[in-house]
Homo-oligomer: A and B are copies of this chain.
Amino acid sequence: MVGSVIGERFACLSFGESHGRCVGMVIDGCPAGLQLNEGDIQPLLDLRKPGQSIISTQRKEEDRVEILSGVFEGFTTGAPICMLIWNRDSDSRSYEEIISKPRPGHSDYPAKVKYSGYADYRGGGRFSGRLTASFIMAGAVAQKLLYSTLGIEITAYTVQIGQIKANEIDLENAKKNRYANDIRCPDLTAADKMREIILQTKREGDSLGGVVECICTGLPVGLGEPIFSSLESDISKAVFSIPAVKAIEFGSGFLGSEKKGSENNDLFTIKNNKIVTKTNNAGGILGGLSNGMPIKMRIGFKPASSISRTQSTIDLSSLSEVDINVAGRHDPCVVPRAPPVVESIVAAVIADHALRSGFIGPVLKIWSKKQNPKN
């Protein structure tokens, strides 16, 4: 496949452009028998939606999802599920300039070269953060599938904006509070400081990056495939599909590189008749396989590339240095909108592995006949 598909058994194909007609996703391989309608997807899309708060872009999109196929009488059928949202409020006028003047930090220049000028450059086209709406569609289905079959839960939240770092987050707190504020940071004190710095940076015409943490609980032992399809391999591949992500670490990560084996090894023990480890420096993954402990990762986002300051770039026709003022509506910091995107794409990967390992079969048997009158 050429690059728009991820997953083998829960295969997700993303299509659409930022300023084209729509943004959509087709899932091939979702098991039959999952109760599903637009109401399962819309709330997650709403969490990512632009224009929700003063800290995000003012582009107004209803982003109402439509399921076009693969669902019949309220249940998935096993056929591909095509979902999309229509683009309504795209304003492409401000993008004419970037045809010849690539914006620093954006894909404009390599995309122009790669496609000999044929790529849709408006709003970043195929490279826009708007495409992550399609990740949400896949992720909403994956999350419902994982939770209803295996009890797997995936929780992502902001832990850092610029240099403001949250205190360590407790999972219960994270689940409860991550969507309680527009920063998506369960440390409410830190969240206030983060909002403040975002607004101030916005006033300065500048932008910020940050870090998102993600925890997955409920995985059975043994998800992942040795060598080239380890959980870390496939999760990182998916996470780096999110624009602006430049770093990822699992468990103790880079900090673990400074430790000794005797400090970093997680010792096995028994708790409630279950094999667990006393610490979780491995982030729930040993040898690329889930070990039953929570998967834990931290994801680094660069500061948003679109800033309202004059920057220097080059003019592609004259090959001379020129100034550019990036127009268009954009976020001063994309991190607050990222947690549902992270949850989604991680869910899609785990759903894929759960199907590959046989923990979820091609037809769900969990729904009683009462729930599904067709059986």
Chain A: interface residue total (CB-CB under 8 A):
152
When chains A and B are docked, how far (Å) is the Cα of A261 from the Cα of B305?
6
Q: A344 contacts the other chain (Cβ, under 8 Å)? A: no
Could you give 17 example pairs across A and B, Cβ below 8 Å?
Answer: A1-B28, A5-B5, A13-B26, A17-B72, A17-B79, A77-B125, A104-B268, A118-B363, A127-B226, A206-B262, A232-B246, A243-B287, A246-B249, A254-B254, A261-B306, A262-B307, A275-B314
Q: A53 contacts the other chain (Cβ, under 8 Å)? A: no
Cβ-defined contact, A116 with B32, below 8 A: yes
Could you say which of B79, B119, B227, B281 contacts A77, with CB atoms under 8 Å apart? B119
Could you say which of B32, B119, B262 contacts A119, with CB atoms under 8 Å apart? B32
When chains A and B are docked, how far (Å) is the Cα of A74 from the Cα of B347?
37
Could you say which of B80, B110, B288, B358 contacts A362, with CB atoms under 8 Å apart? B358
Q: List the one stretch of A40-48, A141-149, A207-215 in contact with chain B.
A: A207-215
Q: 1/0 per residue A293-327: CB within 8 Å of B?
A: 00000001111111101011110100111000000
CB-CB under 8 A for A110 and B291, given A15-B68, A260-B206, A261-B304: yes
Query: Which residues 20-67 of A sit at the B interface, judged by CB distance below 8 A?
Result: 20-22, 24, 26, 28-29, 32-33
When chains A and B are docked, how far (Å) is the Cα of A160 from the Cα of B4?
36
| Residues of B contacting A238 in the complex (Cβ-Cβ under 8 angstroms) | 228, 233
Cβ-defined contact, B226 with A312, below 8 A: no
Q: A155 contacts the other chain (Cβ, under 8 Å)? A: no
When chains A and B are docked, how far (Å) is the Cα of A163 from the Cα of B263?
14
CB-CB under 8 A for A260 and B115, given A236-B236, A268-B314: no
A114 to chain B, nearest CB (A): 3
Q: A75 contacts the other chain (Cβ, under 8 Å)? A: yes
Could you say which of B118, B241, B374 contacts A32, with CB atoms under 8 Å apart? B118
A56 to chain B, nearest CB (A): 15
Q: A368 contacts the other chain (Cβ, under 8 Å)? A: no
Cβ-defined contact, A107 with B289, below 8 A: yes
